[in-house]
């Protein structure tokens, strides 16, 4: 016999969530609900907290309605909502940071020097040479401007 429940870590189906909520409303003890669902007590409470956060943030249910639905305390519901909001902010910040990193790498790629290859035409090589000369002239102008200031 295994010490861990069979469904530990597995996804919850919609029907299983509905059953869970009905069992909570019938005031079945968490220990028995965990056995019925072949999950840990922590897994049951964790799912109830996730449902509570979803009900508040996505379905706009009130705290008393969520309490009645999940059997959780106000503190448990508030904590679940806060943690979900923090996770959403972290996810958004991570997404923004990734976008900024991608934009910076694109700018860096656009600024990277072109390395002549043997397949380039003489016109391309001449253009590259002119661009390098322009770069040198601009750097000299910047230096002169800095000494004037």
Provide the residue ranges of all domains of the chain, joining segments of one domain with +: 14-94, 120-149
Q: How confident is the model at residue 115 (pLDDT cuts 50, 70, 90)?
A: low
The overall longest dimension of the chain from CA atoms, in Å, is 84
Q: How confident is the model at residue 23 (pLDDT cuts 50, 70, 90)?
A: very high
pTM here is 0.64
What would the mean pLDDT of 48-64 be, rounded to a whole number? 96
- pLDDT above 80 (res 81): yes
Share of the chain above pLDDT 90, in %: 52
Burial of 61 (0-12, 13-18, 19+ CB in 10 A): middle
């Amino acid at each position: 016999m295994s010490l861990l429940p069979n469904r530990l870590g597995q996804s919850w189906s919609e029907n299983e969530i509905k059953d869970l909520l009905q069992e909570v409303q019938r005031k079945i003890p968490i220990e028995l609900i965990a056995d019925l669902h072949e999950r840990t007590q922590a897994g049951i409470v964790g799912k109830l907290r996730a449902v509570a956060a979803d009900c508040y943030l996505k379905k706009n249910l009130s705290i008393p309605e969520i309490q009645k639905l999940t059997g959780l305390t106000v503190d448990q519901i508030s904590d679940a909502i806060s943690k979900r909001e923090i996770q959403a902010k972290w996810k958004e910040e991570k997404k923004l940071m990734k976008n900024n990193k991608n934009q910076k790498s694109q700018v860096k790629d656009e600024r990277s020097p072109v390395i002549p290859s043997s397949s380039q035409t003489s016109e391309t090589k001449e253009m590259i040479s002119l661009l390098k000369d322009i770069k040198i002239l601009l750097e000299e102008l910047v230096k002169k401007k800095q000494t004037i200031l």
